Amino acid sequence: MDVTISIGNALKKGDLWTRLSALVMGIGMIMHRQVIKGIMVLLCEIAFFFYMINTGFHNLSMMPSLGTEAQGKVWNEAKQIYEYTVGDNSQQILLAGVITLFVIAAIIVLWVLQMRHSYKLQKMIERGEHVRSLKEDIAALFDGNLHITLMTLPCLGILIFNIVPLVYMISMAFTTYSKEDEHLMLFDWDGLHQFGRVLNMNGNIGRQFWHVLAWTVVWAFFATFLNYILGMILALIINRKDTKAKGFWRFCFVLSIAVPQFVTLMIMNIMLQPSGAVNVLLKNLGLITTPIPFWTNAMLARITIIVINLWVGIPYTMLQVTGILQNIPLELYEAAKVDGAGPVKTFFSITLPYMLFVTTPYLIASFVGNINNFNVIYLLSGGGPTYVGDTAGQTDLLVTWLYKLTIDQQYYNLGAVIGIMTFVILTIVTLITYRNSSSYKNEEAFM
């Protein structure tokens, strides 16, 4: 379909049937020789009005208040028990309202498409061109329009299972839905109040947010770049001409990848407990008299997490960069050697710039992944020790704090706000970093 066809042209220059399609969807297609497609579009319009009359308008009318009738408790004298009367459920009202808005958006898109298509069919008939039958349209879906056939189900899946729930959860950020309310079945709109609580550095939640955000950025920086640099150095050492049994050394480090990450992390957590293997061994050797507080001292817990993450992450980086290192032109190293450059100078002048040029997208993805690295923090320290506030610990990332807020503490509105803030931060960091990288500005060659 010609996307340049505007609705204005269809309404101004279209014939009677095209213009009538603005009210009776599909009529223009029916009268322009595509009867079955037009009938299908008309049935969609009928189904839309049936849905709106049956439940859609009610859903929209309930959206401003999110319900007013609370669930009641009445004493049943005969049964000698309390019985609950049915009240409004704000969760269901909000979800139904969001779904209704998506249904309205879908019918608007369908309305625009059928108006354009009707006008296009009109022009084709005026020019004496062939109008495809339904059989020909179906055949085209497996030939020239195969991309539409292949992408329809994935796009619907993304819409139903990702976008609609995401909009629903974002809406939670603007409500009072949390355990602080007397009854979770009924809540109301709260505007930007929860955003103010999170961004206010003088409030309890605000102090926790900024503290957790600062540690999240520090963690993501060290977890990304230490893994990257050390993994690259390890790959360089293994790839040296003088290194013997390269395959054996790679095998040794790949073994840590073969073990499931959650198993490694849980074992490390147990080993570093006050009565764990590490403390017991150090005591038996006479190196310490009291257990090292790996998980109870905030600074030590953070350092421990970063070090363990190196053990888990360096082998991945080594494998990522090994192939790239082997593709660096040898002429560059030979020229540097002739100029008298040593290994350190060669690394910072040739190897590191080349690697950064090629792997910038990988670095950005790693940084974003570390910001959302739930497994390492939750399985090692559980976010503790909890000194920041009543909901966040010293080693909590935004993602683990969000988990605690929603699953453990039931602050659903605050959790939604934290989720939105995390998304905004990641989007800004990703776009700014990538658009200012040489990988984006000069994709054709390495300079």
Give me the domains of the chain, ranges plus CATH numbers. 7-191 (no CATH), 197-441 (1.10.3720.10)
SS3 74: strand
Look at residue 2 and tell me whether its pLDDT is greater than 60.
no
Residue 444 has a pLDDT of 54
Rounded average pLDDT over 180-190 = 71
pLDDT tens, residue by residue, 90-143:
989 999 999 999 999 999 999 999 999 999 999 999 999 999 888 898 999 898
Residue 441 has a pLDDT of 66
For the entire predicted model, the pTM comes to 0.81
Look at residue 183 and tell me whether its pLDDT is greater than 60.
no
Rounded average pLDDT over 213-231 = 92
**Contact predicate 370/215, CB 8 Å:** no
In 3D space, the residue among 210, 184, 212 whose CA is nearest the CA of residue 197 turns out to be 210
Q: Which of 70-79, 143-152, 374-383, 418-427 has the lowest mean pLDDT?
A: 70-79
SS3 342: coil
Residue 82, beta-bridge partner list: 75
pLDDT above 90 covers a percentage of the chain that reads 50
Distance separating alpha carbons of residues 8 and 19, to the nearest angstrom = 10
Q: Which residue has the tokens 């619907």?
A: 156
Look at residue 48 and tell me whether its pLDDT is greater than 60.
yes
Residue 262 has a pLDDT of 87
**Contact predicate 328/351, CB 8 Å:** yes
**Contact predicate 27/21, CB 8 Å:** yes
More confident residue, 87 or 203: 203
pLDDT tens, residue by residue, 168-177:
999 999 998 8
pLDDT tens, residue by residue, 368-379:
889 989 999 999
Rounded average pLDDT over 26-38 = 94
Residue 232 has a pLDDT of 87
Residue 442 has a pLDDT of 67
More confident residue, 327 or 135: 135
